[in-house]
Structure 1
Amino acid sequence: MVNAFDKFVVWSQNHFKALCVLYLVSVILFSSSFSSLGPLEMGIARNNIASSVDKTMVYMGGRYFLGIGKEFVKYPTTSQNLEMSNVMAATSDKQFVYLDLAIQYRLEPNSLIDLFTERQQAYDSFYRREAEQALKDVCVQWQTIPDFYFKRVEISLQMENSIRAILEANHAKLVAFQLRGIKLQPATETKIIETLVAEQEEITEGIIQTTTVVRAKKEQFKTAAEAEVKVINSEANAEGIEIRSKSEAKAFQLVTDAQSSKLSKLEETLALASPQKLLTYLWYTGLAGPVKDKTNVKIGVDSISQSKLTS
């Protein structure tokens, strides 16, 4: 027969086990009430038990106590890259072009709840469809030739503005846009190449003609310059001859004046009465120049009679 003490022991053991199980379940439920977001993530809280979303708050990176049965619907805070290759679009002249581009966009935290309500997490495919349609709407406004060759900058800017408007209307922001390439149909490419070659040949011909004209003018300038140089040299030679003649005449005049002054002073010093006597004196003293017919006869000063000098 089981006594009261044994019953109490059994009852205590059963309650202890129940408490342990309850504690373990409580720990599990408490730990599952926490949820975290990475540093480059944002999200909204969703109640999986009630199938509802908390539309009052957008959570940024961190660890939060949400409660039992709740978790985050996560979205990136960084820029997302959307690449699109070989997008076929028609132009206004019924031709086709193939676009290669890239779009970088970022989700807006302030309208993240609206994005979830409208798109849940299928926003990337939605943006791709809308961007492709926007590109086609832009291309149909331009002609293949010459717009898609000469006006690619304007076309790219219009595409960028169109995609920016679509993203801003759907809770995102355009970060960057690159139109990396535009491919035309082979026949169109060939026609453009032929047009470019013809234009280049025309430009080359114009350059050759301009070069010929410049060379002709250069030869004219060279001929005129050479003629002018000859004239300048002739004038310089004439001026040189004139200057040399004037110099020689001036020198001769100076020598003559010096000799005349010297003779006058000599005539005055020797008291010669007439020029004839002065010439006779010069002849005897050798100042008149060298004597052509030289003889061995020596004539002294005393051989000249005083009467001849004074007569």
Structure 2
Amino acid sequence: MATTFGVVIGVCITVAVAIIILVTQSFSDVHYYEFGFVKSKVTGTVDTSKVWTGGRFWIGPGKTFKVFDSIGQVISLPAATVFAAPDELANGAAAGELGTAVGASLVITISVEIVYFLVEEDLTLLHDEYDVSYHDLMTSSAQAALKDTASKFTLQQFYRDREVVEAELLLGVRKRLGGMCCPINCSAKGTCFDGCIERSSCTKSEKGLFVEARYLQLTDLVIPETIEARNLKTLILTEETAKETFTQQAAVIEKETEQLVEEIVNQAKEVTANSTAQAQLIAARSNADYVQTIEAARKTGLVNLFTSVGLSTVDYKNSFDYLRSLADNSNAHLTVDFDQLITGPTKLP
């Protein structure tokens, strides 16, 4: 009886342990950076009816998750060879605009970093077409898209309009990897492109490779040494031409400045001479007015004097005026009461 009870206890413990093991093995994790499909460990079949995102889930014994990266995946092309359009644009197309180029294309090497994301709602299609071996296909497809798009731009545009070139390269890669379907929520994010089709109306063939390329950065540009030498020579000639132009302009400005200086100096001399003449004229007029005023006052004074002393004859008046003139002369000495030598020098010789 004791032996039977022990066997029962052992069986119960074994069953309990088995149940615990089965229950614990029925849980499986999907990390926050992953998508997942439920996969049978026994048959290897994958249930693609539901895409599982980050968390721990009870999916039953003998099952696990087949996971895909939900974060951005990088395509690194450190030395992608592409063909740039010739520098001469036909029909007078301006630099920075897309136009039809003439002449031979130029082989250049660019370094590009592309970040793409798996589309959750298209993950089933991606799995059915490529399983988990899709990255190499994305890389080769992106490189082909770069070659097609780069041929629209000249080498000068790669240098001068880098942002425009990057945007156009990204659009080309986006159309190749994601098809013509509009990116998810592109209206809110401002990432819709011309001609894109609403996702609700997209067919499988219009979804490209079922991923979304979001970012592209053109990191480096390598051109043949001969072209680089030619461009450097062109830049040097351009700078020398600009230098010569500035030198000539400086010479012209210097001559014009000298002429302005001469004109200003001449104007100053003219103003000075005119001012001097005006001052002399004013002084002469003032002196004339002074003399006129003095003489008028003297005349008036003499008339009053002659009237007051009773000098009425011309001889007396002339004699008085003569004596007054002698008295005003500092070199004359007036002596009174002598019949001769009325006047004489003030100093002996």
Task: Determine the structure 2 residue equivalent to 1:37.
Answer: 30
SS across alignment from 2:54: strand
Q: Do the aligned partners of residues 286 and 14 (structure 1) sit closer, same or farther apart at CA in structure 2, a change above 3 Å counting?
A: same
Separation in structure 2 between the aligned mates of residue 151 and residue 63 of structure 1, nearest angstrom: 49
Task: Write the mapping of 1:256-267 to structure 2, written as runs, cut at 5 A.
Answer: 256-263=295-302
Task: Determine the structure 2 residue equivalent to 1:127.
Answer: 138
Paired residue type of 1:33: S
Q: Assess if the C-alpha contact under 8 Å between 1:282 and 1:288 holds in 2.
A: no
Paired residue type of 2:67: K
2:249 to 210, 213, 223: 210
Q: Assess if the C-alpha contact under 8 Å between 2:327 and 2:334 holds in 1.
A: no
Task: Write the mapping of 1:290-305 to structure 2, written as runs, cut at 5 A.
Answer: 292-294=331-333
Q: What displacement does 1:83 show?
A: 2.1
1:73 to 66, 79, 101: 66
Paired residue type of 1:47: S
Q: What displacement does 1:11 show?
A: 1.6
Paired residue type of 1:16: I
Task: Determine the structure 2 residue equivalent to 1:251.
Answer: 290
Question: What does the per-residue CA deviation read over 1:237-270, in whole Å, with 9 as the maximum and x for residues that have no partner?
Answer: 2222222222333333344444455555556666
Q: Assess if the C-alpha contact under 8 Å between 2:81 and 2:110 holds in 1.
A: yes
Q: Assess if the C-alpha contact under 8 Å between 2:326 and 2:332 holds in 1.
A: no
Q: Do the aligned partners of residues 295 and 215 (structure 1) sit closer, same or farther apart at CA in structure 2, a change above 3 Å counting?
A: closer
Structure 1, 12-21 or 71-80: larger mean CA deviation: 71-80
* Structural RMSD (CA): 3.3
Task: Determine the structure 1 residue equivalent to 2:5.
Answer: 12
SS across alignment from 1:39: coil
TM-score, normalising length from structure 1?
0.77
Task: Determine the structure 2 residue equivalent to 1:61.
Answer: 54
Structure 1, 30-39 or 216-225: larger mean CA deviation: 216-225
SS across alignment from 1:294: strand
Count of matched residue pairs: 291
Paired residue type of 1:235: N
Q: Assess if the C-alpha contact under 8 Å between 1:90 and 1:96 holds in 2.
A: yes
Question: What does the per-residue CA deviation read over 1:265-293, in whole Å, with 9 as the maximum and x for residues that have no partner?
Answer: 55666676578767877888999635643
Q: Please tell me whether residue 161 in structure 1 is matched to residue 171 in structure 2.
A: yes
Task: Determine the structure 2 residue equivalent to 1:108.
Answer: 119
Structure 1's unaligned 5+ residue stretches are: 1-7, 299-311
Paired residue type of 2:232: I
SS across alignment from 2:144: helix
Structure 1, 25-34 or 207-216: larger mean CA deviation: 207-216
Q: What displacement does 1:80 show?
A: 3.1
SS across alignment from 2:60: coil
Separation in structure 2 between the aligned mates of residue 278 and residue 66 of structure 1, nearest angstrom: 154
Question: What does the per-residue CA deviation read over 1:217-249, in whole Å, with 9 as the maximum and x for residues that have no partner?
Answer: 222333333333322222222222222222333
Paired residue type of 2:167: L
SS across alignment from 1:55: strand
Structure 1, 272-281 or 168-177: larger mean CA deviation: 272-281
Separation in structure 2 between the aligned mates of residue 214 and residue 100 of structure 1, nearest angstrom: 48
Separation in structure 2 between the aligned mates of residue 288 and residue 173 of structure 1, nearest angstrom: 125
Task: Determine the structure 2 residue equivalent to 1:304.
Answer: none
Q: Which has the larger helix fraction? A: 1
Q: Do the aligned partners of residues 25 and 236 (structure 1) sit closer, same or farther apart at CA in structure 2, a change above 3 Å counting?
A: same
Separation in structure 2 between the aligned mates of residue 203 and residue 240 of structure 1, nearest angstrom: 54
Task: Determine the structure 1 residue equivalent to 2:206.
Answer: none
Separation in structure 1 between the aligned mates of residue 308 and residue 51 of structure 2, nearest angstrom: 136
Q: Which has the larger radius of gyration?
A: 1
Identity rate, percent: 20
Q: Do the aligned partners of residues 61 and 285 (structure 1) sit closer, same or farther apart at CA in structure 2, a change above 3 Å counting?
A: same
Separation in structure 1 between the aligned mates of residue 108 and residue 60 of structure 2, nearest angstrom: 54
Task: Determine the structure 1 residue equivalent to 2:271.
Answer: 232
Structure 1, 228-237 or 151-160: larger mean CA deviation: 151-160
Question: What does the per-residue CA deviation read over 1:55-96, in whole Å, with 9 as the maximum and x for residues that have no partner?
Answer: 333222222222212222333343333321111223452542
Q: What displacement does 1:178 show?
A: 1.3
Structure 2's unaligned 5+ residue stretches are: 86-103, 180-208, 338-349
